[in-house]
Amino acid sequence: MVYRVPKRILLTGGAGYIGSHTYVALRQAGHDVVILDNFSNARRSVVARLEQITGAPVPVVEGDIRDNALLDRVFTDHRIDAVVHFAALKAVGESMAKPLDYFDVNIGGLTTLLRAMDRAGCRRIVFSSSATVYGVPDETPTPETAPFRAMNPYGQTKILGEEMLAWLAQSNPDWAIGVLRYFNPAGAHRSGLIGEDPADIPNNLMPFVAKVALGELDRIAVFGDDYDTPDGTGVRDYIHVEDLARGHVLSLGRLFETGQGHCVNLGTGRGYSVLEVIAAYKRACNRDLPHHITDRRPGDVPIYVASADKAAEVLGFRTEKGLDEMCASSWNWVSNIGETA
């Protein structure tokens, strides 16, 4: 059941990829939403696009989650009921090179935010976690009970964040905390106005394939075809970003409804290989997508697939969109963006 009473929600990192889609979903569910973002990994043009989609002004505070005074002002001015916390650094490779940046933003930023929430008496938060907390999981599909295994500083910050939140909830029952472990978000909003827009050469598969489809990159490197998977290439549980956004609406509804926290995977429960993704994208864009097999990427996990049962049970969350819709919406977005960014 979706909680129907409108609330005032603060979206940290709300101008980013998942945050912008969640902004739309929350507005459509009737909530008032304020974005706090420092635009370190988002374009300012996202705001006008969100206004175009929702047909209303988008309240944005430009600033950093590590800024105490700013946070106090935001909570006072907007009388926030709950926070959805997306703002973080998220590149695995960069986290190996600059671990302190990751601890500073992802852990320091989270602590500063939680303190400000506590001061304001706002104790409802949804936290963006990741399948990466499972490291190389023993079980596939992977249930929420699988143990934490840090593979890199980025993954370590998600584990630490979850652990901090669990202790906080234990310290004071007023806290209601939703932890959402995303599998592999993909695709874009149906309008073609917002989507993933990496500034550099993409690390992730779907945006890389998109750039090959656009002719901006020559060919896709498939990182290994000797995994113990049906076609030998890595398997992931890709989830449409609009489905993922809806998961946040349900998570918030559950927090308000019960006053209790939860921790769930958000995935489809079904995996696709790298070669299957390339084939699906080819169908979507109707272009040739040259690819070649290279060595495995160091640190890669062979298979990540979510057990999706708990999210269905606790949140009533079921995905509605499959791989073909992820590829079609991605292609719709990237073929638009060049003209309008």
Q: Which residues bind ligand NAD (CB under 6 A)?
A: 12-13, 15-19, 37-42, 64-66, 86-88, 90, 105, 109, 128, 130, 182, 185
Rounded least distance, CB 205 to ligand UFG, Å: 4
Burial class from Cβ neighbours inside 10 Å (0-12, 13-18, 19+) for residue 272 reads: buried
Question: Residue 40 binds what, of ligand NAD, ligand UFG, none (CB under 5 to 8 Å, by partner type)?
Answer: ligand NAD
Q: One symbol per residue from 76 to 105: x for binding ligand UFG (CB under 6 A), - otherwise; what is it?
A: --------------x-x-------------
Please identify, using beta-carbon distances, which residue of 109 and 269 lies nearer to ligand NAD.
109
Cβ contact 331:261 at 8 Å: no
Q: Is 36 helix (H, G, I), strand (E, B) or coil?
A: strand
**Which DSSP string corresponds to 200-267?**
SS-SSHHHHHHHHHHTSSS-EEEE-S-SSSTTSS-EE-EEEHHHHHHHHHHHHHHHHHHS--EEEEES
Distance CA 62, CA 12 (A): 10
Distance CA 250, CA 256 (A): 10
Rounded least distance, CB 178 to ligand NAD, Å: 13
Please identify, using beta-carbon distances, which residue of 91 and 293 lies nearer to ligand NAD.
91
CA atoms within a 13 Å half-sphere pointing along the CA-CB vector of 68 = 6
Catalytic residue among 3, 17, 23, 154: 154
Rounded least distance, CB 203 to ligand NAD, Å: 10
Cβ contact 37:60 at 8 Å: yes
Question: Residue 13 binds what, of ligand NAD, ligand UFG, none (CB under 5 to 8 Å, by partner type)?
Answer: ligand NAD
Tracing tokens 């910050």 back to the chain, one arrives at 157
Residue 154 a catalytic site member: yes
Rounded least distance, CB 202 to ligand UFG, Å: 7
Count of other CB atoms within 10 angstroms of residue 334: 23
Q: One symbol per residue from 218 to 247: x for binding ligand UFG (CB under 6 A), - otherwise; what is it?
A: --xxxx----------x-x-----------
Rounded least distance, CB 336 to ligand UFG, Å: 22
Pairing of strands 235-236, 176-182: unpaired
By the rule CB under 6 A, 130 interacts with ligand UFG: yes
Residues annotated as part of the active site: 154
- Give me the residues that bind ligand UFG (CB under 6 A), please: 90, 92, 130-132, 182-184, 203-205, 208, 220-223, 234, 236, 274, 297, 300, 304
